[in-house]
Structure 1
Amino acid sequence: MKSLVLLSFVVCAFAIDVQFEDCGSKAGDVTINVEPCEANPCQLKHGSNYTVKITFTPGSSAESVAVKIYGVVAGVPVPFPFDQPDGCKNSGLTCPLDPGTAVVYKATLPILSEYPAIKLFVEWELLSGDDKLVCAKIPVAVVKSNDELDARYKEKIVKKMHWE
């Protein structure tokens, strides 16, 4: 029993429902969960993958769902390279979506080392034709991984000590 309680606490500590700005969702009851994420805004580390779960209730039937993701920097949306633009495939959604029935969309978001360390909004859109089922701007901070920070720290120490 103690193990179950501890395990539940550990799982809950690394996945949270994130705060977001709605940017025109037609679906209701939208919640977004990011794992691992410990606090708002989520800190997305270079070289890591993040699981994004979007729960929503469509207001009308949706035969298909297209996915678009943008990094919004200084108010300018920049398309995010994403290899699964069909929201009906490998995402937990079964199309067509029925109105009034809650569904969960799930995707993995890789944070590559070549991305700049920056604070920005990730705009995530789930579209059915011209309708935005879900449109959410999620505040995040892309940060260097611990390995990158350790390497930079070591480099500074080596230069200071004149080793190597």
Structure 2
Amino acid sequence: MIKIITLLVVYLVSSTVAVQLKYISCGSTATVHSIALEPCASEPCAMNIGQNYTVWVNFTAKVNHDRAYHVWGGDVTGFGDVIMLNINPNDACIQSVKCPIQAGLQQTYKATVTIPYINPKRMALTWEVKSTNDPAARPIICFVFPVTILVN
């Protein structure tokens, strides 16, 4: 029964408007198997201000981590003018991953964000999951992907 439910969930996720992202790794300490973003029909993803977007990252940690925190931001200009965006709650263990994260255990990280007001433009979004709130900490998961921000 559990296998049927799992297959149904996978079918529902894959049958909605979700794209398997082509991304650039930016130093993940985990092995990232796949990343999907919804709703997103093509790349670069056209993201509307005020709309919710959900990311799923299937990964296997290489080392144990007690905690996990969301961090995401964007390089707005393409020249390093980075803005940081908030995900609430910041603690990824609350609704996303099972903590402590165990090395060798495959899991799916999930987070939903609302696109804040950003001047409409193309940008590179960086998404990280870290084991601490320290911005200098090496990320468990880190990836960059292109988006276009649109006004509804």
The TM-score, its normalising length taken from structure 2, stands at 0.81
Q: How many angstroms apart in 2 are the aligned matches of 1:96 and 1:10?
A: 26
Secondary structure class of the residue paired with 2:139: strand
Distance change in 2, residues 1:9/1:56 (3 Å): closer
Q: How many angstroms apart in 2 are the aligned matches of 1:30 and 1:131?
A: 19
More helix as a share of residues: 1
Residues 54 and 106, structure 1, Cα contact 8 Å, conserved in 2: yes
For residue 85 of structure 2, what is the amino acid of its counterpart? F
Within the candidate set 141, 144, 150, 1:143 is matched to 150
Instruction: Kindly report the root-mean-square deviation, in angstroms, between the aligned alpha carbons of the 2 structures.
Output: 1.9
Aligned length: 136
Matched, 1:102 2:109: no
Residues 13 and 38, structure 1, Cα contact 8 Å, conserved in 2: no
1:28-85 residue CA offsets vs partner (Å, 9 max, x unmatched) = 1342111111111111012311111111110011110121111112222211132221
Q: Which has the larger radius of gyration?
A: 1
Q: Percent identity?
A: 29
Partner of 2:38: 35
Q: How many angstroms apart in 2 are the aligned matches of 1:141 and 1:29?
A: 24
What are the ranges of 5 or more consecutive residues in structure 2 without an aligned counterpart? Answer: 1-10
Deviation at 1:9, TM superposition (A): 9.1
Matched, 1:83 2:88: yes
Residues 119 and 142, structure 1, Cα contact 8 Å, conserved in 2: yes
Secondary structure class of the residue paired with 1:88: helix
Secondary structure class of the residue paired with 2:105: coil
